Structure 1
Amino acid sequence: MMIYKLFWGLRAFLYSPFFGKMGMPSYLGKPIFLKGIKNVFIGKKVRIFPHLRIETQDGGSVVIQDDVVISQNVHITSAGKLEIGKSSLILANVFITNIDHEYFEIGKHVVNQKITVKNTTIGENCFIGMGAAIMAGTNLGKQCIVGANAVVRGNFPDYCVIVGVPAKIVKKYNLETQTWEKVNY
Structure 2
Amino acid sequence: MSYMNRIWYYVFRWYAVAIKLISQKGYDKWIVRAHKKAGVIFIGSPEYIDSHSHLDPSGGLTIMGGVVISTNVIILTHDWSFLRGLIAINKVNECISSFHALAYNSVSIGENSFIGAGAVILPGTKIGKSCIIGAGSVVKGNIPDYSIAVGNPCKIINDTRKFGEKILVRSKES
TM (norm. structure 2) is: 0.63
**Structure 1 stretches (4+) deviating beyond 4 angstroms?**
52-56
Deviation digits for residues 56-106 of structure 1, max 9, x if unmatched?
5xxxx4113414311131111122221111111111000002111122213
Residues 173, 89 of structure 1: alpha-carbon distance in 2 compared, 3 angstrom cutoff: closer
- 9, 32, 41: which one aligns with 1:63: 41
Q: Corresponding residue for 2:140?
A: 153
Question: Which of 27, 31, 55 is 1:48 aligned to?
Answer: 31
Look at both structures and tell me which one has the larger radius of gyration over its CA atoms: 2
Paired-residue identity, %: 33
SS in structure 2 at match of 1:149: coil
Give CA deviations for 1:110-136 in whole Å, capped at 9, x if unaligned.
xxx956111110001111000000110
Q: Mean Cα displacement is larger for which, 78-87 or 118-127?
A: 78-87
Change (3 A) 1:96 1:90: same
* Cα deviation 1:141-161 (Å, max 9, x = unaligned): 111000000000110111110
Match of 2:120 among 103, 111, 133: 133
> Contact 1:124/1:143 (CA < 8 Å) preserved in 2?
yes
Q: TM-score, normalised by structure 1?
A: 0.60
Q: CA contact under 8 A between 1:54 and 1:76: conserved in structure 2?
A: no
Contact (CA 8 Å) 1:53, 1:75: kept in 2 or not?
A: no
Aligned length: 133
Shift of 1:163: 0.1
The answer for the alignment partner of 2:21 in structure 1 is none
Query: For the aligned residues, what is the CA RMSD?
Result: 3.4
Listed one character per residue, the Cα deviations across residues 23-61 of structure 1 (whole Å, up to 9, x for unaligned) are xxxx7225xxxxxxxxxxxxxx64639xx88995xxxx4
Judging by fraction of residues, say which structure has more strand. 1
Structure 1 position 81 matched with structure 2 position 64: no
Residue 124 of structure 1 pairs with residue 111 of structure 2? yes
**Matches of 2:157 and 2:150 in 1, distance apart?**
7
Specify which structure has the bigger relative contact order, considering alpha-carbon pairs within 8 angstroms and separated by 6 or more residues: 2
Residues 138 and 153 in structure 1, CA contact (< 8 A), matched pair in contact too: yes
Structure 2: gaps (5+ residues): 19-27, 91-95, 167-174
Gaps of 5+ in 1: 1-14, 31-44, 181-185
Cα distance in 1, alignment partners of residues 31 and 37 from structure 2: 15
Flag the structure with higher helix content.
2
